[in-house]
Amino acid sequence: MDTKQSQLYFPDSSAREFLQKQLYLFYQKNNFQPIWYSATTVLPHTQSLMGYLKNSGSAGLNEDAYSLSDIDEIQNALLGTHGEYDLPKLMKIDVFTTAMALTYLNHTYAGRIKPNEVDSKENIWVEKYKPVDLVDELYSAIQNNRIDLIIERAEPQYELYEKLKIAREEYKRIVAEGGWEKINLEDFKKIKIDSTEEFNHHVLVPTIRNILNKTGDLQLAKNEVADTSQIYDNKLREAVMNFQERHTLERDGIVGMNLLKEMATSAEDRLTQIELNMERLRWLSDSLGDNYIIVNVPSYWMRLYDSGKRSFETKVMVGQSFHETPLFMDTMKYIVLSPKWHVPISIMTNELLPKLRRGGNYFSRNNFSIYQRTSDGIKEISPNAVNWNAVRNMGNYSIVQNAGASNALGRVKFIFPNANNIYMHDTPSTQFNKANRALSHGCIRLYEPEKLANYILKEKADTWTPEKIHKAMYSGDTKNVYLSRQWVVHIVYWTTWVDDTGKVHFAKDVYGYDKAQREILAKRDINLKNWMQKRTKEFENLKRKEIALR
């Protein structure tokens, strides 16, 4: 059975029909023997399953949606006292128990929703569909007394996932203890606090101190917790800077509206944010690869892993909210030194055509060449050779920015061929000191591209020394360098992640994917809970009936 991720979102109607058909075929193949039960006893594996369902929150799922009431009594009531049982009724609950096991396995393995439901555009969230054979795997696990193993293996096997599970427990504890104080942003629209004399005292300081103590950014002794001092001292300023770093803000120690917005986010919302990112990890490939690169869009960083070990990282710029960087996986095949920029038609139409209509020397100053397609072929033309006010469609034109200092791609680009035409590249922009770096048209701009080129081209050290790489980058002569050792590139959207020291980091939901995913999951969990409650009532009715012994 070669099923796909998109087919198993049970208990949705289409998936339910698919699952029921597969279960029927399984029972038929096995002479209609139940999966979970023997003729004389209830197998202990159901107890293990119920434990996982009741503790499904630890996997970032909604515990309330998977709740089962009186399942033990229902199961026992379906068994006779002399090792006999009512087969039709037992089969019914067997299907239900199996369905719940498959639902849980599929949810922890592939996720509760289809990733492309989060974004209505054609961004590719799913790296690949994962073939699954859940019915036979589940049966084999039960027969071999390894149900715990198969359930544990269904969860993502990534270090970040395990760290997020720990972070979730910590934030669950904070929520259970009442969270932290709330900030009314309407009362503080123009606030700015720093350690200068002018802002050394402020009514909001005690609240900030309390929040930072709860988040772990500030360590307070018991006698300091109730401190109402309004002095913004160096200790508090350092804690503010730590909070800023963890929330993708400029680390300046100044309390402004951006910081207050992050502090105004409740502990409950942070807990949900962690769970949303645990869900996203289920959408990745089972293995990231041995040599791979991760670009985390909302956190604006790129990391290279060599043989599984992080060996290089740098800041990046990504697409603006209306030019989103797509999320996908592909393989880097070559590097272009002294690249030319073949301007996409959307940028030609929306940004360069208005400049052509205004005239001037913009195109010569920025080293652009313009080409026109005619019946005689393609020829280079002067910017002044066409009445651009009459042009409505740039389809017959090409604009190329030649290699050089003004080139939008800088001195080098890194190609991992894909349908989105997305790549990583150098840039003449100097805005990497900004906290918000969603500034590009979709491609990924690198802060230290030459260092990345040097690292990747170490495989060709005999030909491409750092000195030769630098010279070629600045030569103006475009060269493609193909790689023997290829790097898998993962472009991801993690608004929560955990660093090597265990600090939990949060990022702004720059594309609104957290919000969309949260709304979809809320509806899906309600559907699951309603389905569970309906099934439970059915089995409550079965429990009340007398079971005839055979």
What's the confidence (pLDDT) of residue 11?
A: 46
What's the confidence (pLDDT) of residue 276?
A: 97
Residue pointed to by tokens 């309906």: 534
369 touches 510 (CB < 8 A):
no
Q: Which residues of 263-299 are buried (b: 16+ CB within 10 A; e: fewer)?
A: bbeebebbbbbbbbbbbbbbbbeeebbebbbbbbbbb
- Angle subtended by helix axes 267-281 and 513-544, to nearest 10: 90
Rounded distance between C-alpha atoms, residue 406 and residue 362, angstroms: 11
Q: Are strands 309-319 and 329-337 parallel, antiparallel or unpaired?
A: unpaired
- In the sheet that 397-401 helps form, which strands lie side by side, from edge to edge? 341-342, 397-401, 368-374, 377-381
What's the confidence (pLDDT) of residue 76?
A: 60
Residues forming a β-bridge with 292: 305, 488
Residues forming a β-bridge with 490: 294, 329
Rounded distance between C-alpha atoms, residue 248 and residue 121, angstroms: 26
From the number of C-beta atoms within 10 Å of its C-beta (0-12, 13-18, 19+), residue 121 rates as: exposed
Closest CA to 262 of 320, 324, 208: 208
Q: CA 451: distance to chain centroid?
A: 27
258 touches 242 (CB < 8 A):
no
The sign one gets for the Cα dihedral 470, 473, 474, 479 is: positive
Rounded distance between C-alpha atoms, residue 56 and residue 279, angstroms: 13
Per-residue pLDDT tens, the chain, 550 aa: give them: 233 333 333 444 444 555 555 556 666 666 656 555 543 334 455 667 777 777 888 999 988 887 665 555 555 655 555 555 566 666 666 666 777 777 888 888 888 887 888 886 766 666 644 545 666 777 777 777 777 888 888 899 999 999 999 999 999 999 999 999 999 888 777 677 765 655 667 888 999 999 999 999 999 887 777 778 888 888 999 999 999 999 999 999 988 889 999 999 999 999 999 999 999 999 888 888 889 999 999 999 999 999 999 999 999 999 999 899 999 999 999 999 999 999 999 999 999 999 999 999 999 999 999 999 988 899 999 999 999 999 999 999 999 999 998 999 999 999 999 988 999 999 998 899 999 999 999 999 999 999 999 999 999 999 999 999 999 999 999 999 999 998 999 999 999 999 999 999 999 999 999 999 999 999 988 888 887 777 666 666 655 543 333 3
Q: CA 14: distance to chain centroid?
A: 27
What's the confidence (pLDDT) of residue 99?
A: 72
- Position 295, amino acid: V
* Helix, strand, coil percentages in the chain from 3-state DSSP, rounded to 5: 45, 15, 40
For residue 88, cis peptide bond before it (omega within 30 degrees of 0): no
What's the confidence (pLDDT) of residue 22?
A: 56
Rounded distance between C-alpha atoms, residue 228 and residue 484, angstroms: 63
What's the confidence (pLDDT) of residue 8?
A: 35
What's the confidence (pLDDT) of residue 106?
A: 81
What's the confidence (pLDDT) of residue 66?
A: 77
> What secondary structure does DSSP assign to 198-236, as a single string?
GGSB-TTHHHHHHHHHHHTSS---GGGTT----B--HHH
